[in-house]
Amino acid sequence: MITRYGYDNFTLLIVVGALLLAFGLWSSVFLLSPMLALLGLVIISFALVFFRDPVRVVPKEAETNDAILISPADGKVVQIVPVQESRLIGGKAIQISIFLSPVNVHVNRVPASGTVVFTEYNPGKFRMAFDHMASEVNEQSIIGVRNSRGAVVFKQITGFLARRIVYELKPGDVVKAGDKFGMMKFGSRMDIIVPESTEILVQQGQTVTGGVTLLGRLL
């Protein structure tokens, strides 16, 4: 299945890829024809991989327990560090950062059930997403969710290639852990910021799956 958040880009890439493939197959230009056909196949393959939206089964525990946090994205945990969070948590917190490569699924999911308290979009730079400074200076959306067990702040952060953030949440929305809410296009990073008391269930270097992997428990 192709994500609805990427229909525009997906359609464009498929059309461009198909035109290059067709020209390459039917053109008689020596050497150039197979190169164009190969480029068309690469573009089509990339579109199918990048904009895929596989079915995910959210753990039952996350559906029934507000304390459970699940991964909002596919990728690799590149950082787990103490931070200060003033918008919603109001003090000491822990930040879990996930790096998404261009081949990861880029559909994003809500990490915790609750009510959306705020959404914020900040334009910024386009550092490499694995650079930890990206959390502070890159273009990003910031979303806060509160529930009966506490509060969670999460960020969609662009990388060097990712130049567009899509999200459809707004203050007052009631969400469930695992709900799809947007995507980041072409390589990016997600930060999840939780209270300092949270029990963290992942480790740096671990590969996580959006909507499936348990990140932690609010205590």
Please identify every residue annotated as catalytic: 188
User: Residue ranges of the alpha helices (H) in 6-133?
Assistant: 7-26, 32-50, 60-64
Q: Which of 118, 120, 109, 194 is nearest to 151 (CA)?
A: 194
**CB of 217 within 8 A of CB of 201?**
yes
Task: Read off φ and ψ for residue 146, nearest 5 degrees.
Answer: -120, 140
Distance in angstroms (rounded) separating the CA atoms of residues 89 and 194:
7
Specify whether the CB–CB gap between 71 and 212 falls below 8 A: yes
Written as one letter, the residue type at 81 is V
Cβ neighbors of 109 (< 8 A, separation 6 or more) are 56, 70, 71, 72, 73, 177, 178, 179, 180, 181, 210, 211
Tokens of 180: 């799809």
Check if the beta carbon of residue 202 is closer than 8 Å to that of residue 216. yes
Maximum C-alpha span of the chain: 67
